[in-house]
Structure 1
Amino acid sequence: MTLSGTRMLDVVGSRRMAVAALAAMTGFYYLFVAVTNCVDTDTNRRGVADVLSMRSTIHHSGTEWRAITSGNVALVAYILIVIWEFLIAFVLLAATVAWIRELSGWPRRLRSGPGVAAKLSSLGWTMVALLFLGGFLTIAGEWFRMWANKEVNASSAALQNFLIAGVGLILVHLPESDSPRAVDQQPPAASS
């Protein structure tokens, strides 16, 4: 099947193509992050342990009871973060494949069901939000006071990751304005 110039532009210039590209970029980003965390385990594991122990933060008797100094707990937290990053990468890359199948329309036997690409993208970016807003900004940032940590402060990186996921979630949940379904669902005009 060959696409005419207009049909090609309808596909490559669409919101769905933008979502597919963002899903691909963020999927590969999290794959690289997870692999790097497996290769450079010492640096990153020490960072997690430093945040949990609250060694390098502002010390106050009212908050120091929150510190977790067990190396085993830090290691488990680190492993869970890396597993979560691999899962994010897998979901977003699967979404990318589903978007490619949906956008290409060829061959038909490879197309996924309706909405699978959007649902996978939404799941992947929600997982990112849970990790970075929930894990890094809320738990590490506020509970373990990472924002005041002199050695490890990943707050700005966590915010960056959360914002990218937020943009993806907004894009994937916007209605397709130029889709035939959106035109068909317009309310009937009132008769004069």
Structure 2
Amino acid sequence: MITRTAKLLLLWALVLFHTLVAFNNVTDFDSNYQFVRHVLMMDSTFPSSHTHWRAIGSPAVHVAFYVGIIAWEAAIALLLWVGSVRMLRSLREPAAVFNAAKRLPILALTLSLLMWLVAFLCVGGEWFLMWQSQTWNGQQEAFRMFAVVGLVLLILMHADTDEQV
């Protein structure tokens, strides 16, 4: 039972995190919008870079990117909420039931990993060269979250048995 409880507590920590991320981006829209806008405009990357043709200057595209990120974050949070409730309800059930209840959280955490890896590290970090910016560089935070989410996902994916502690 302690193993299942540990998995559920770690999952709830990520439920809280993803909920707060989505909530903050909705209630303080402009703060992270500015981050997305500057990354897409590439206005703080190395001036001598030959990649500025990739920059996107359209405010409509900036808003679309940012709203897409918020929708992605909110979907992850919602899936985590529903999945964690299912896991809680199956906490004392046979292992097969508990393992089946992990499907939705596994999907949600995979979507989270994809967000941090694709949206922030690949697209922001490498396509828009966010790593070159002293001000608008979120790669360390993205990697930190990729690692945290990945670790919890690995722990969660470990199959439970009826004989576990």
Normalising by structure 2, report the TM-score.
0.90
Residue ranges of structure 1 left out of the alignment (5+ in a row) = 1-10, 106-112, 183-192
1:56-94, CA deviations, whole angstroms, 9 ceiling, x for partnerless residues? 111345211111111110100000101111111111111
CA contact (8 A) 2:22 2:74 kept: yes
Structure 1 position 97, deviation (Å) = 0.3
Q: Note the aligned Cα RMSD (angstroms).
A: 1.9
Structure 1 position 151, deviation (Å) = 1.9
CA contact (8 A) 1:95 1:117 kept: yes
The match for 1:166 among 116, 128, 150 is 150
In the other structure, the counterpart of 2:58 is: 70
In the other structure, the counterpart of 1:32 is: 20
CA contact (8 A) 1:52 1:140 kept: yes
The match for 1:137 among 121, 130, 133 is 121
SS at match of 2:50: coil
CA contact (8 A) 2:102 2:156 kept: yes
Runs of 4+ in 1 over 3 A off after TM superposition: 113-116
SS at match of 1:62: coil
In the other structure, the counterpart of 2:162 is: 179
Structure 1 position 22, deviation (Å) = 1.5
1:19-78, CA deviations, whole angstroms, 9 ceiling, x for partnerless residues? 211111111111111111111111111110000000011134521111111111010000
Using the alignment, how far apart are the partners of 2:118 and 2:88 within structure 1? 31
Structure 1 position 169, deviation (Å) = 1.7
1:149-184, CA deviations, whole angstroms, 9 ceiling, x for partnerless residues? 1221111110111111111221122233x534x9xx
Sequence identity percentage: 32
In the other structure, the counterpart of 1:120 is: 104
SS at match of 1:115: helix
The match for 1:84 among 59, 68, 72 is 72
Q: Which amino acid aligns with 1:103?
A: L
SS at match of 2:90: helix
Residue ranges of structure 2 left out of the alignment (5+ in a row) = none
Higher relative contact order (CA closer than 8 Å, sequence separation 6+): 2
Using the alignment, how far apart are the partners of 1:75 and 1:25 within structure 2? 29
Structure 1 position 114, deviation (Å) = 5.5
Q: How many residues of Structure 1 are paired with residues of Structure 2 in the alignment?
A: 162
